[in-house]
Structure 1
Amino acid sequence: MQLAIRHDTVYRYEAPVHYSIQQLRLSPLTTPAQIVTQWLVDAPGKLDAGRDAYGNALMTLVLTRPHKEIRLRVRGEVETVPLPDGRLPEGEGPIPMQHFTSPTRLTEADAALADFAQSLRSLDDAAGLLDTAARVTERIRYEAGVTDVTHSAADAFALGRGVCQDHAHVMLALCRARGVPARYVSGYIDPGDVPEMASHAWVDVWIDNGWVTVDVTHACFASEKYCRIAVGRDYEAAAPVRGRRVGGMGETMDVSVEVNVQASQQ
């Protein structure tokens, strides 16, 4: 499947920012599951490219002149392949597997989550993962605007509402409470009739000596409709944009994402 992706982000500040540094995880990698055919990240300054500890493509933007706005523009095309039973055709990666069994601030299981984890039928096979995803979305109804990036899995579970990021964090908390390695995935999805869901989050779970990738929000495997951008232990490690600044006072952010399916080129 050929996915055409457009992602625009604009930060605006009440007062001039004198210095800012931004880490951008906005570029997919070519892997056995996807081929990047075109990709461009445009920013108001030089981008230094590298990799982070998880192997994600990482760009760093440093602005030292006063500015009241930062515009980031992403355009690209990715060809994806079907993943039977959600199994990724790749190995462990650069991080020891034990790292993905350790909770973080956003994925710590409180008493309620720990009890829920123990009630699950199974987390060590593909069918069990889909069943768990369905139970998570039953407990946490999808609703935009009720949580933000600071809310933890425990927060969303108690609230009973949230978005894809919350579903992913709860799934990670449940897996780790049961000693099953799992990691957060950020990326894009062909959203069908729900364009606001084009920017997405899901999880990879390590079972039977391989990663199985699951979209918790839709209780399905994350297959060819998905473009993977970054992985980490939680959102903070895989966020599309993270940074610091000096000055600026108040900040607003506008984000627009579009994903369209292109006709396959023969």
Structure 2
Amino acid sequence: MNILCSIILNKIIRTIIYAIVLIIILLYPIFFRLLGLPVKYKFVEEYNFKVNEPTGLKMAVILPSDGPYQEITNVDISWEGDTEIIDHGTARVVRISGKLEDSFCIRIKYTAKMKTGRINWDEKVIDKYIQDESGIESTENLIVSKANSIAKGKSIDDIREIYNFVNKHIKWPTGDRIGSEGDVQSALTALKTGEGVCGEFANLMVALCRAKGIPAKSISGLFIPLLPGLKKPIWNHQAGAHAWVEFYADGKWHFADPSHGGAMNFNSIDGLHLSYGEKESIKQIYDSSVKWAGTDYHLIVAMSNPLKFVVATSSENVIIEPAGFLDTNNRYLFFIAAIIVLIIAERLLICHHPALSLDSHG
């Protein structure tokens, strides 16, 4: 009986160890974050064109660039025509032009190395980051009054109080989205209604910070899923559009995601937030891309989230299917390989130590 119990216990222990190994492989960003290690992702954007006749093409794609908690490398563009890359700081624009002779797929790949842990950084503070702007109504009496009731000063503890308030005050809408007015994700509306999506969470936190004279900005980007699917999402991206906050305190800039909330998303980076930069700046880059592409050509499509691109052609008879996804083949192949290795190791262990097998004691 004691031998049987020992065998069962060994079996349970080995199963737990194998499960832990497989979970670490699948959810490695969580463990990298706990260890403060950077995480690498391979991003792919595909733009499939279907044309019935040769047509001129002008296309602009906005991609992320290097930032305080990310490094973008290995940018590869599958296009034989003219390509120009314009760097705008935290974002870059790829301008593609030439002629489509036949149906074609323009594929853009890049690698993002994401930092994790407590990351603070130096960056110039400009007046814009303490001023009122569209959707961030920091001078409105209601917002000023609320900011003064939440925070007494400008310390990081005061900002944490603002962060916690926003996270608890705003609820994600369950029906029709009412947290914004038109295209503007309004901080004032979110404060009044208590409803909104990530953009309202970010804008309200920024507005409350600015009302206290604390520099802050609303950031536009992508949130990377822990387990991306294998299917390519047409007219979408596996990493969903997201918004969060960067704020200035104690002489440094810091990160916060009020829509996710919790201690882990305040003044700490999880390696899952890919930044395109300050939201208003990205809007200006997008608007200028629309103007550039639409000059002399027919504007076919313009998309600002989660993919950010503009397409114009000399012919109107063009169909495009865009898709954004993460290249996770290596991770899933590694997962399958790990399962095979563990099974082989289990068989070899039993072959060398038959007493560990339950079957031998049947």
State the TM-score, normalized to the length of structure 1.
0.70
User: What is the CA distance between 1:4 and its match in structure 2?
Assistant: 2.3
SS at match of 2:192: helix
User: What is the CA distance between 1:212 and its match in structure 2?
Assistant: 0.9
Moved more, 210-219 or 154-163: 154-163
Q: 1:45 to 1:121 in 2, by over 3 A?
A: farther
Q: 2:147 aligns to what? A: 117
Deviations 1:84-141 (A, max 9, x none): 2xx42x3124xx4322111211212333222211111356333433332221122221
Residue identity in the other structure for 2:131: S
User: What is the CA distance between 1:252 and its match in structure 2?
Assistant: 7.7
Contact 1:118 1:178 in 2 (8 A): yes
Contact 1:48 1:60 in 2 (8 A): yes
- How far apart are the structure 1 equivalents of 2:75 and 2:255? 24
Q: 1:50 aligns to what? A: 86
Aligned alpha-carbon RMSD (Å): 4.1
Q: 1:97 aligns to what? A: 126
Contact 1:143 1:163 in 2 (8 A): yes
1:198 aligns with 2:240: yes
Larger Rg belongs to? 2
Q: 2:64 aligns to what? A: 27
User: What is the CA distance between 1:82 and its match in structure 2?
Assistant: 2.4
Q: 2:223 aligns to what? A: 189
Higher helix share: 2
Residue identity in the other structure for 1:170: L
Contact 1:25 1:56 in 2 (8 A): no
1:179 aligned residue (204, 213, 217):
213
2:199 aligned residue (140, 165, 174):
165
**Number of residues of Structure 1 aligned to a counterpart in Structure 2:** 246
Q: 1:41 to 1:83 in 2, by over 3 A?
A: farther
1:106 aligned residue (135, 139, 150):
135
- How far apart are the structure 2 equivalents of 1:91 and 1:117? 25
Contact 1:172 1:184 in 2 (8 A): yes
SS at match of 2:135: coil
Higher strand share: 1
Contact 2:63 2:94 in 1 (8 A): no
SS at match of 1:213: strand
Q: Percent identity, please.
A: 18
Q: 1:36 aligns to what? A: 72
Q: Which has the higher contact order (CA 8 A, sep 6+)?
A: 1
Contact 2:225 2:272 in 1 (8 A): no
State the TM-score, normalized to the length of structure 2.
0.54
User: What is the CA distance between 1:19 and its match in structure 2?
Assistant: 9.4
Q: 2:311 aligns to what? A: none
